Amino acid sequence: MASALSDTRTTVTVVGGGAWGTALAAHCARMGHDTYLWAMEKEVVDAVNKQHENTVFLKGLPLPESLKATNDIEFAIKHAELVLTVVPTPFLFKSLSNIKDLLTEKHVIISCTKGILNDTLETPDDIIKRALPEKLHSRLAFLSGPSFAAEVTKGIPTAVTIASKNIQLAQHVQELLSTNRFRCYRTDDVVGVELAGALKNVLAIACGISDGVGFGNNGRAALITRGLDEITRLAVASGANPLTLAGLAGVGDIVLTCCGDLSRNRTVGLRLGKGEKLEDIVSSLGATAEGVLTSRSAYHFAKKMGIDCAVIEGIYRVVNEGADPVEVVATTMSRPLRAEVDEKVAAAKF
Ligand SMILES: NC(=O)C1=CN([C@@H]2O[C@H](COP(=O)(O)OP(=O)(O)OC[C@H]3O[C@@H](n4cnc5c(N)ncnc54)[C@H](O)[C@@H]3O)[C@@H](O)[C@H]2O)C=CC1
Ligand SMILES: O=C(CO)COP(=O)(O)O
């Protein structure tokens, strides 16, 4: 049977030479797209070009020789049709501001960041729209879903979702990025995908803490399910389709990062649960764990929305106030009993 996959080749620039940017750039280069990785660190650029490895953020994994890296942002943006922005949330506004005058309506801008800013409670969609002129807003798409950088770099089968309010654009990106090892689905539910991707990092920390303390499989399953309920209620109140939360960006990424030991967020939780101090964990991790900052944003976001979120509140207290996880669980389990399914979610129209 003939493959349904497109053989169209295009030009790609990935902005951000961390683990995820490098993995996505490697995927695009392997597909035959003419691909540049823009990295802030000269060491990353040199290592990718000369050793075909990102020796800083993705050690030990060979990258395709066709992948080129550069420090020259003007060249990199002018080169590409697809611009993937893959920087941690706190650096996203600055990164987009640096390239806003180089971007045109011919570019497709694909955000691959997962987080919520502390001070403004903005998702990447909000941050990017604040940074870019309005004429570019219909050129935005968002890539999310269960996808460890190391596994994508190794070519392990992966499925992700591409969200855009401009569904033709989502379909275009889907066709340009899908292979028989990297399958992209599409949706127009940007808010659902963005909130799922950010909030699952907080849940991954929670599950790591639970496993680190030794609460066992029952404890983790309860956290995943009740955490998903909180994420769903927050997302639905923000206008998301509840089914998005059952999809790749929701359940898919929650299962991956709450159970998979490659997760940096789960690792932070495991080490917290075993009694290490947050500052020591963060300074020795050598990688971004977005859930640490997002745990604070999630707590304030839930308060702002007036939605009771016991798991998010508990994680906020453990991560940000040094509360004892055993006591937090005891308090959470003694709350007044309630129905399992929230009536607003049950009644949501989609
Ligand atoms: N690593 C993974 O498996 C996945 C990561 N993501 C998301 O991708 C985003 C990027 O994460 P990673 O590539 O994993 O990060 P990383 O921890 O591997 O690399 C850190 C990144 O932050 C950049 N950075 C550090 N200081 C900076 C500054 N002052 N200004 C601008 N940039 C600075 C570095 O250049 C590098 O690109 C995050 O939102 C993460 O949640 C999403 C899916 C998978
Ligand atoms: O988002 C991810 C996989 O989909 C990566 O999760 P961590 O940041 O916890 O490693």
**CA of residue 140 relative to chain centroid, distance:** 16
Catalytic, 200? Answer yes
Ligand 2 pocket check for 148: Cβ under 6 Å: yes
Query: pLDDT at position 346, please?
Result: 83
**What pLDDT band is residue 345 in, cutting at 50, 70 and 90?**
confident
Q: State pLDDT tens for residues 84-140.
A: 999 999 999 999 999 999 999 999 999 999 999 999 999 999 999 999 999 999 999
- Phi and psi (nearest 5°) for 61? -115, 120
Q: Which atom of ligand 2 is nearest to the CA of 197?
A: 1
pLDDT at 349 over 70: no
pTM for the whole structure: 0.97
In residues, how long is the chain? 350
Tell which atom from ligand 1 comes closest to the C-alpha of 113. 39
Exposure string for 135-154, b = 16+ CB within 10 A, e = fewer: ebeebbbbbbbbbbbebbbe
| 8-state DSSP, 47 | I
- Does the beta carbon of 146 lie inside 6 Å of ligand 2? yes
CB 109 within 8 A of CB 140: yes
- pLDDT exceeds 90 at position 343: no
How many contiguous H segments (helices) and E segments (strands) does the chain have? Answer: 17, 8
Query: Per CATH, is 198-346 categorized as 3.55.40.20?
Result: no
The answer to the question of whether 91 is labelled as a binding residue is yes
Hey, what amino acid is at 32?
A: G
For the chain, how long is the longest CA-to-CA vector?
A: 61
Cα–Cα distance between 303 and 299 in angstroms, integer?
A: 6
Atom 33 of ligand 1: nearest residue by CA position: 91
Q: Which CATH topology does 11-188 take?
A: Rossmann fold (3.40.50)
Whole-angstrom distance, CA of residue 142 vs CA of residue 126 = 12
Q: Whose CA is nearest to atom 6 of ligand 2?
A: 263
14-26 tens-digit pLDDT: 999 999 999 999 9
Q: Which ligand is nearest to the CA of 285?
A: 1
The minimum-distance atom of ligand 1 relative to the CA of 87 is 10
Q: Whose CA is nearest to atom 10 of ligand 2?
A: 263
Residue 288 alpha carbon to ligand 1 centre in Å = 6
Q: What percent of the chain has pLDDT over 90?
A: 95
Q: What is the pLDDT of residues 150-199, one digit of tens each?
A: 999 999 999 999 999 999 999 999 999 999 999 999 999 999 999 999 99
In this predicted structure, the answer to whether residue 1 has a pLDDT above a threshold of 80 is no
pLDDT in tens, 256-305: 999 999 999 999 999 999 999 999 999 999 999 999 999 999 999 999 99
Predicted local distance difference test score (pLDDT) of residue 347:
83
Residue 350 has pLDDT above 90, yes or no: no
In the chain, where the domains are located: 11-188, 198-346
Ligand 1 pocket test: which of 55, 73, 87 has the largest number of ligand atoms within 8 Å of its C-beta?
A: 87
227 assigned ligand-binding residue = no
**181 has binding-site annotation:** no
CB 152 within 8 A of CB 182: yes
From the CA of 23, which ligand is nearest?
Answer: 1
Interface confidence, given as ipTM, is 0.99
* Encoded amino acid at 125, one letter: D
Is the pLDDT at 43 greater than 90? The verdict is: yes
pLDDT at position 62: 98
pLDDT, one tens digit per residue, over 312-339 is: 999 999 999 999 999 999 999 999 999 9
Residue 89 alpha carbon to ligand 1 centre in Å:
8
**169 Cβ below 6 A of ligand 1:** no
The annotation status of 16 as a binding-site residue, yes or no, is yes
pLDDT higher than 80, residue 77: yes
Does residue 265 have its Cβ closer than 6 Å to ligand 2? yes
Confidence of residue 342 (pLDDT cuts 50, 70, 90): confident
Q: What's the 252 CA to ligand 2 centre distance in angstroms? A: 11
Give the active site residue among 42, 100, 129, 200. Answer: 200
Nearest CA among 336, 327, 329, 330 for reference residue 308? 336
- Going from the Cα of 55 to the center of ligand 1, the distance in angstroms, rounded, reads 15
pLDDT grade for 3, boundaries at 50, 70 and 90: confident
The reply, when asked if residue 239 is annotated as ligand binding, is: no
Under 8 Å between Cβ of 265 and 115:
no
194 contacts 142 by C-beta, under 8 angstroms: yes
